[in-house]
Amino acid sequence: MSEAAPGLTVDSVTGIDVSLPVAGPGARAYAFLVDWHIRVILALGWYVCGALFYNGRFNVTPPLISDARWFGAVVAPALTIYFLYHHAVELAMRGSTPGKRMAGVRIVARDGGAPSAGALLTRNVFRLVDSLPLFYGVGLITVVLTRDNLRIGDMAAGTLLVFEQAEARLPTPAGDAHRAGRLDAAGAEIVAELLERWPALQPEARVRLARQVLARYGSESGESGDDEAAWRTRLERLARPQQR
Amino acid sequence: MNGSARQRALTVSLLQRADLWRQADRRARRLARGRGDDAADATRLADDYRLLAHDLARVRVLMPDSRTREFLEAAYARAHATLHHGAWRIGSAVLTLLREELPAVVRWLSPYILWSTAIFALAVIGGYALVWRYPELIALFASPDLIASVERGQLWTEGLLNIVPSSVLSVQILANNIVVSLFAYCAGFLFGLGTIYILGLNGLMLGAVFAFVSLHGLRAQLLAFIVAHGCVELSVMCLSGAAGAAVGEALIRPAQAGRIESFRVAALRSGKLLFACALLLVGSGMLEGYVSPNPRFALWARVAIGVSYWLLMVALLSGWLFGRRARRALP
């Protein structure tokens, strides 16, 4: 639930605040490592392909004499990919990167909205300081020490990293069962969730959980020798609206 | 109706709106990805936002530990982020930056520009005086290759194009200068001390090298080498130092509500100047790679190029280059 993680609470014009769970050092590091691998692979890929094409044979070593074509077509693009990856990708993906997507986080402004282009660029310029002296030492320390887990780039740009709240599935049958008046909202959700997860559960777990749920919410009880299908039918009956 | 029955009735009516919530969330996701310019869709998102806020408020009370609440919290946050998303029109944003915002930032930074120029100039004079008086101290500021070359009576820049092509040289120089410039700005985070250090160190090095080449009778050659690119390059050094100083002062004497807020405002505002600095350094790097080491350019041509480029920089920073509208008095 949203209370579990430290969060940013943003005032809204509706009067109902917006809760944003703030990402900690772990999620940040995970996102960074994924992005780092992506940019290394892209930069190296460009370098190797460019070098093979330039040399015209299976050889990736640079020419002995400095050559503008080599530098312009092989070295400069690879360095550009490596060093401008975050600037370009965050602008193109509006505050996200493939790594951040995988880690389930995104950048937001302090008002909970999407950050401006200027804020994203400023955030990335300050990587120069955050990455000092080695392996993002300064950034990591400030992330650990600050309340909202901010690195210096975030402080400068007025941004922070929040968890991209995955779409929680609304239990479809819950409404029906609830409407029928037999289950409270929590019970309806539990029954719906159990039915959703039924195929993924072990047979013993199916029976055990169904028995517990029915004992708590159901009016009918099963026999210990009943098979799984019978338990499922009883759960489905509980979740269905009653015929009147 | 007793309290429990009323609560149950409210919950039932809320859960009947699940389809509306799903539609609202889908719309927010679609618009957040920038897919669809339908004005009606955007208007509906504003209605969705109100709907989600209303229902979330009730769900927080009626079903505090439910998946329904989890779904609504996420959908509401997404709708909020999508609604509070400024327009991303890069072209017009860049034009506004160059025409309106940049001159305003330069005006705001003018005292800092003055001070950082003064610090840089003092460092140049200091470096010059130090090496002029104690020539052996050049080892602190210059590489052994540079020293050996000057002692042979030859500038290290001579024959540079025989070793490295102009294009490679330009890119190397402009990348290095941009990084130094960005560092001077970012180092303002250390309460301005980092910026002063970078300005001072670069000034000392410049002064020291000038004194050393003067001692060996090469001052005119060095001046001829740097005049085309140096006017702008050194000015940009002072400009980025000014941006860093503004960031540092915001931390030392916060003007806004708090230190971090003040730092944020100063960094975002002065950071706009860095965009212009990077553009100018690209030009300087090109000149340093193609014009400065090329002996075919006469001194008068180098001076003309250097002065013209410096005037272009002034035009850019004052907004004239992009047709800044004259400020009119408010009625």
pLDDT 10s digits, B241-252: 999 999 999 999
DSSP A73-92: IIIHHHHHHHHHHHHHHHHH
pLDDT 10s digits, B221-233: 999 999 999 999 9
pLDDT of residue A234: 84
One-letter amino acid at A59 equals N
pLDDT tens track, chain A, 244 positions:
444 556 788 888 888 888 888 999 999 999 999 999 999 999 999 999 999 999 888 888 888 877 888 888 999 999 999 999 999 999 888 889 999 999 999 999 988 888 888 899 999 999 999 998 888 899 999 999 998 899 999 999 999 999 887 666 666 544 455 555 566 667 777 887 788 788 888 888 888 888 888 888 766 666 666 688 888 888 888 776 554 4
Give just the sign of the alpha carbon dihedral A14, B32, A36, A125.
Answer: negative
Mutation target vs B (from A165, A194, A196; most B CBs, 10 A cutoff): A165
3 state DSSP class of A152 = helix
B12 touching A (Cβ < 8 Å): yes
Summarize the confidence of residues B136-149 as an average pLDDT.
92
More confident residue, B236 or A186: B236
B37 — pLDDT class (breaks 50, 70, 90): low
One-letter amino acid at B302 equals R
B330 — pLDDT class (breaks 50, 70, 90): very low
Summarize the confidence of residues B176-192 as an average pLDDT.
93
pTM of the entire predicted model: 0.81
How many cross-chain Cβ pairs, A to B, lie less than 8 Å apart?
164
The CA distance from B91 to the nearest CA of chain A, in Å, is: 12
Torsion of CA B300, B159, B207, B173, to 10 degrees: 90
What are the tokens at B326?
Answer: 């004259």
pLDDT of residue A3: 44
ipTM surpasses cut 0.95? no
CB atoms within 10 A of CB B324: 16
Summarize the confidence of residues B22-34 as an average pLDDT.
83
C-beta atoms of A114 and B85 within 8 A: yes
Summarize the confidence of residues B9-31 as an average pLDDT.
81
- If phi over 0 gives left and psi between -120 and 50 gives alpha, with beta otherwise, what is residue A95? left
pLDDT of residue A223: 64
Q: Is the pLDDT of residue B146 over 80?
A: yes
Q: Are A162 and A20 in contact (CB under 8 A)?
A: yes
State how far the Cα of A30 lies from the Cα of A15, in Å rounded to an integer: 35
Q: What's the distance, CA A36 to chain centroid?
A: 17
Q: Is the pLDDT of residue B212 over 80?
A: yes
C-beta atoms of A14 and B50 within 8 A: yes
What are the tokens at A221?
Answer: 């009880």
More confident residue, B61 or B210: B210
pLDDT of residue A179: 52
The residue of chain B with its CA nearest to that of A75 is B168
pLDDT of residue B83: 83
Q: Is the pLDDT of residue B331 over 60?
A: no
Residues in chain A within 8 Å Cβ distance of B69: 1
Residue labelled with tokens 């400009």: B239
pLDDT 10s digits, B75-88: 898 888 888 776 66
Angle at B118 between CA B113 and CA B124, to 5 degrees: 125
The residue of chain B with its CA nearest to that of A168 is B71
pLDDT of residue B30: 83
More confident residue, B8 or B308: B308
Summarize the confidence of residues B284-295 as an average pLDDT.
91
Q: What's the distance, CA A39 to chain centroid?
A: 19
Mutation target vs A (from B1, B29, B264, B269; most A CBs, 10 A cutoff): B264
Summarize the confidence of residues B153-160 as an average pLDDT.
81
Q: pLDDT above 70 covers what percent of chain B?
A: 93
More confident residue, B12 or B288: B288
Summarize the confidence of residues B272-291 as an average pLDDT.
93
pLDDT of residue A166: 66
State how far the Cα of B137 lies from the Cα of B127, in Å rounded to an integer: 10
Q: Are A20 and A8 in contact (CB under 8 A)?
A: yes
Mutation target vs A (from B16, B67, B247; most A CBs, 10 A cutoff): B67
B302 — pLDDT class (breaks 50, 70, 90): very high
Q: Is the pLDDT of residue B326 over 60?
A: no
